[in-house]
Structure 1
Amino acid sequence: MLCPLFEFQRQQLCSFTSTPMFIPFFSRRARRAGSSSSSSSSSSSAGKSGTSSSSSSSSAGKSGGSSSSSSTGKSGGSSSSSSTGKSSGSSSTTGKSGSTGTTGKSSSSSSSSSSSTTRKTSSVSFGGSTKAASTYSSGGGKSITIALGQLFGGRTAGGATRNQVFGTRAYGSGYPGYYTRGVTQRGFPFWYWPLVWSGIGYETSSEYLYDTTEYGQPDNSSRPGGPMATAAFQSNSTGTTFRLVADNNTVTDLMTDIASNCSQFLTAASINATLPTPFNGTVDPEQVVQYYRASSVALTLDGYNNTAVFASENSTADVPLPTGIDTNLLECLNDTIGLAVPLINGGPRGSTPDFRLGGLLLLLLFILQ
């Protein structure tokens, strides 16, 4: 659930969880993304990235079933992305993502960066069909039940929107209607599969992180958007390194938006990089500072060791983020991902009503009279 910024609203709307929630610093610019697929604006954002030990997620009714699960198998990947031009403009991001806060109260700073909101669209294979996914799309659309006999048959897919993309630091967060961690036998509210982590759970409490029986290994080409990949973004002031982890198409599409929006905080190498790196297991789940889009996207921080992810659920608070990191870059990354992460378009292309036909009919009626 995306909690409001104001304290009295949080008490009313976010009382369902008994543990501290991560309050995403979702700016006014980003909040508008739910109602507009691409726009040009100038805005500001503020907030602290708090801690969370539960996987409280965006609200919107239960999406994702718990029916039969099947093996992953290879069924072809997804095609590469192609861009379509839209509008561009400038935007500003202000505020700091706090390293230890748990209340989500805002703080402010005065930093700005120009951004280009070019909408990019790529083809994503899911359940034997191909769908269009776009950056800055509002998502939504009708939820379906995957046909029996297909991969993950019987589970639901689709229906989630842009304002539901934020999760927490818990693996399995960001699923509308789910408030526990883990991704076993869940549906696909955003169509994308959740991330999988390489490793072995030595304790029962951490086995949920390393289950690859449902979604296969990170290099599984059946994954919508392609095999998992990463991209590094290093601060030009502190050396802080964040990494984006997602399917190949998502990482590729977001790299250009991040380079544009956050250029004033990034090193030249981070700005000029255009291709993601295949996921090789060097990024770990305890490094995650934020999950997005039903845990199919993650932002990690090098050197962060959130041991709470290995403990029993709700038993331990998240480890605070290290001091001295570039919180301006963290905020810009979080804001850009929330605003631009690709979503499956909710309606068919060309679905805008054509009012010309109505005009011709009225003209014909006028002539006949």
Structure 2
Amino acid sequence: MASLPLVLITLLIHLISHQVRANDPLFFVTTALVNFDARVVQGWSGGGGERWTITNDSNYPFAGREFGAADRWTLKGTQTFGSGYPYGNVDNSTIAGRPFPYGLWPLYWGNNMMGSDEYGPALDGIRPGGQLVTIPLKTEDGTFNITEGEMYHIIGDRDSATFMMISLVTSCHVTPAWPSKFDPTSPNSTVKLENVVQYYRASSFALASPGYNNTFAQGNTNTESTESTPITDNMLYSEFHKCLDDVILNALPIMNWPPAPSNTLGDTMGIVFGILGLPILVGIGWVTIVICTLISGYRQNSRNRKMYARKNREAQLAARKESLKYEQFP
């Protein structure tokens, strides 16, 4: 019976650790349905490692392209869409056909802007991190001296944007807000191509401000262009803007190193125990219960034998007394 609490404690630890991992800032990018190859995209990750190639599996739309290997030091692009690629810049007039250095797809702006239609809403169902969303970034607690009209939005996949909102609330005192679907082709869209202040992560994530108007954005045909309308002074010297940029650069989720192969005895035993550890503990618990039951039964049988012997002795003595009475009274 003493082993039962150990089994229960093990179950509790398993449940608690699973809950903690569920809240980690990471998600998986699956690139194959045959063997379920996947890589982890994680907040605060350093990135790096070797490049992978997407296999030709079940007609995946981007089979044959390289992805991963980019690190956090190359995360920042410019104000030009298509900037921020650390490798794969073959044709500077388009982002079509390019690799995914950080594991995520570039933004979609509609009207096949710089070839971005191939990453459009028709593929939202398999976009890593979920469909494109936007979240407004406001602060009202007085930590920063916000100038009139200074407001920002982040644009990116749902999981990255949601995680960044959590980080920005913590670090930059941003007022919490939920994401809304980003549709750049809608006339009611609050964020447009010319509002982007900064691109990150191979143009898969952006910081924008409705108060900024980059007149070069719509007509640009070169992803390497450095031509853009200067950012206004109230944003350029804003501590709030600086905080947002710094946190995005440090925390934005990017793809981790590929997992190391597990070929050592220690790794193998760890995996085996990780899979079978709980059944083993349960088995030990049951074996202990059986042993305790056998010992208890043996002790009970011993007590029963002693009780039977005592009663038998008492019966013999009583019978002897009766025979003695017969001799005393002939």
Give your verdict on TM over 0.5: yes
Match of 1:310 among 218, 223, 234: 218
Residues 27-47 of structure 1 show CA distances to partners (whole Å, capped at 9, x for unaligned) of xxxxxxxxxxxxxxxxxxxxx
Structure-2 separation of matches of 1:83 and 1:231:
25
Question: Aligned partners of 2:265, 2:253: CA distance in 1, in Å?
Answer: 27
Cα RMSD (Å) of the superposition?
A: 3.1
Summarize the Cα distance change of 1:350–1:241 in structure 2 as closer, same or farther, 3 Å threshold: farther
User: What's 1:152 paired with?
Assistant: 62
Match of 1:176 among 80, 86, 101: 86
1:278 matched residue in structure 2:
181
In 2, Cα distance between equivalents of 1:354 and 1:331: 49
Determine the structure 1 residue equivalent to 2:238. Answer: 327
Letter in 2 for 1:136: W
2:135 is matched with which residue: 215, 231, 238?
231
Is 1:187 the equivalent of 2:96? Answer: no
Give me the whole-angstrom Cα distance separating, in 1, the residues matched to 2:30 and 2:98.
Answer: 19
Paired-residue identity, %: 32
Structure 2 Cα separation of the partners of residues 156 and 139 of structure 1: 15
- 1:1-40 correspondence runs (5 A): none
Counterpart of 2:171 (choices 253, 261, 265) is: 261
Match of 1:339 among 241, 250, 255: 250
Displacement after TM superposition at 1:278 (Å): 1.4
Letter in 1 for 2:244: L
1:357-368 to structure 2, matched below 5 A, reads none
Q: For residues 218 and 244 of structure 1, what CA distance do their matches in structure 2 show?
A: 22
Structure 1: which 5+ residue stretches go unaligned? 1-81, 86-117, 201-206, 358-369
Q: Does structure 2 conserve the Cα–Cα contact (< 8 Å) formed by 1:209 and 1:285?
A: no
Asked if the contact 1:132/1:344 (under 8 Å) is kept, the reply is: yes
Name the aligned partner's letter for residue 223 of structure 1: R
The question of whether the paired residues in 2 share the 8 Å contact of 1:245 and 1:298 is answered with: yes
Q: Secondary structure at the match of 2:217?
A: helix
Q: Report the residue type matching 1:134 in the other structure.
A: Q
Contact 1:133 1:344 survives alignment (8 Å)? yes
Q: How does 1:128-167 map to 2 (within 5 A)?
A: 128=33, 129=36, 130-148=38-56, 149-167=59-77
Question: Does structure 2 retain, via aligned residues, the 8 Å contact 1:140–1:160?
Answer: yes
- Structure 1 residues 186, 350: CA separation in 2 closer, same or farther (over 3 Å shift)? closer
Could you tell me the TM-score, scaled by structure 2's length?
0.61
Q: Could you report, residue by residue, the CA deviation over 1:125-174 in whole angstroms, capped at 9, with x for unpaired residues? A: 34444332211011112212222343211211111111111111111111
Cα displacement string for residues 291-311 of structure 1 (whole angstroms, at most 9, x for unaligned residues):
111110000011211011233
Q: Which whole-Å CA distance do the structure 2 matches of 1:141 and 1:218 have between them? A: 31
- Aligned pair count reads 229
| Secondary structure of the corresponding residue to residue 309 of structure 1 | coil
Greater C-alpha radius of gyration: 2
Indicate the SS of the match to 1:303: coil
Residue in structure 2 matching 1:120, options 25, 32, 40: 25
* Paired position in structure 2 for 1:208: 113
Sort the Cα spacing of 1:144 and 1:250 in 2 relative to 1 into closer, same or farther, 3 A: same
| Equivalent residue number for residue 204 of structure 1 | none
C-alpha distance in 2, partners of 1:294/1:319? Answer: 21
**1:93-136 Cα distance to aligned partner (Å, 9 max, x none):** xxxxxxxxxxxxxxxxxxxxxxxxx9622233344443322110
| Whole-angstrom distance in 2 between the partners of 1:290 and 1:235 | 20
Question: For the structure 1 residues 145 and 327, does the alpha-carbon distance in structure 2 shift closer, same or farther, using more than 3 Å as the test?
Answer: same
Structure 2 gap ranges (5+): 1-18, 141-145, 269-330
Flag the 1:299–1:143 CA change in 2: closer, same or farther, 3 A. Answer: same
Alignment partners' CA distance in 1, 2:212 and 2:169: 23
Is the aligned partner of 1:250 residue 2:160? yes
- SS of the aligned residue for 1:171 comes to coil
Q: 8 Å contact 1:228–1:246 — kept in the other structure?
A: yes
Aligned residues of 1:127 and 1:151 also touching (Cα < 8 A): no
**Higher helix proportion:** 2
Change (3 A) 1:136 1:316: closer
